Amino acid sequence: MNRFIKSLTDNEILSNPDTLSKYSFPDALKVWKDAFLKASDQNAPIKTMKLKERSNPWFDYECLDSIYARDFLHRKATQSKKHCNKLHANVNESNCKKDDIRKPIHKHDFQGKSNYKDCKSWKDYAKKRNEVNSLIESKKRQFYVERINKSKSSKETWDVLKTLLPNKTKSNPIPKEMSADKFNQYFATIGEKLSKNPDPNNLPWKNPPCEHKFSFHEIQDETIFKYLRNLPQHSKLDLQGFDTKLLRIAAPYIHKSLTVIYNMSLKSGIMPDEWKIAKVTPIFKGEPKNMTNRTTDQFPS
């Protein structure tokens, strides 16, 4: 993390807000975004990992170390298996009779595969494998016994027991005809359709003009710093590729330059298209199932 902070302080665009004054707003935003994402990719690159959908709260570093030791012995035993098979083949070839020397030697002429599981390395692996299985079972048993003993009510006890019982398969309440593409098509075209067929009951505004005036004020550095420090501590990527954890760590070094970016947007009256992108999650709440008969208010986000 020290290298990440150093890359931020060494970058003039991120650490020195005055360098952004020579750019127009759209260019300043692009330069600032590229500089921050470059520093993020160099020091905290994004990695794709496969995670199993399960929770093992009893799993600790003791179990992890035992699994690493078991896997090491398994690799060692696998190598010894190949070595044992090779030695066994050489022995079978040397035990052939002299009358059979002229005959070609095939692998089915051998007396069978070698019993590689008699090797010491394979026995060590089997022993360690059993130890790991016993350790995990004991950790799991101890965890649930402690949880049940600490339960103060029958509800808490049943909540613990439900995690041990197999989950019942639940049918998806969303109809198959309501696909993601149809939802996307609906939200992408609903504005244009409503503008072509306005509601006659929606009367225009006829009241006197508003007496109050509204104007934007420049955003202060302290405001941006406060919002950056209030971001979640865990890593979470937004739609533009920014990591919330890295933004929170970099707050003392980038809040001034980021304040300049926001103030340039207010002064120029330009809202970038990438700031308008948002994830919309339609929630199906039952009937009616026909999307064409629903209004936008029936699709909460």
Report how far residue 70's alpha carbon sits from residue 90's, in angstroms, rounded to the nearest whole number.
30
In sign, the C-alpha dihedral spanning 171, 172, 177, 179 is: negative
Domain ranges of the chain: 2-44+175-198+215-298, 61-164
* 25-43 helix and 2-10 helix, angle to the nearest 10 degrees: 150
Report how far residue 300's alpha carbon sits from residue 159's, in angstroms, rounded to the nearest whole number.
31
Higher pLDDT, 108 or 198: 198
Report how far residue 98's alpha carbon sits from residue 30's, in angstroms, rounded to the nearest whole number.
82
Q: Are 274 and 280 in contact (CB under 8 A)?
A: no
Among 198-202, 210-214, 283-287, the range scoring the smallest mean pLDDT is 283-287
pLDDT digits (tens, 9 = 90+) for 13-41: 888 888 998 899 989 999 999 999 999 99
pLDDT digits (tens, 9 = 90+) for 151-209: 888 888 888 888 777 666 555 656 666 677 777 788 788 878 877 777 666 666 667 77
Question: What mean pLDDT, rounded, does the chain reach?
Answer: 78
Take residue 247 and report the two structure tokens written for it. 């933004």
Q: Which residues contact 219 (CB under 8 A, 6 or more apart)?
A: 259, 262, 263, 266
User: Which pLDDT value is given to residue 251?
Assistant: 93
Please state the pTM of the whole predicted model. Answer: 0.51
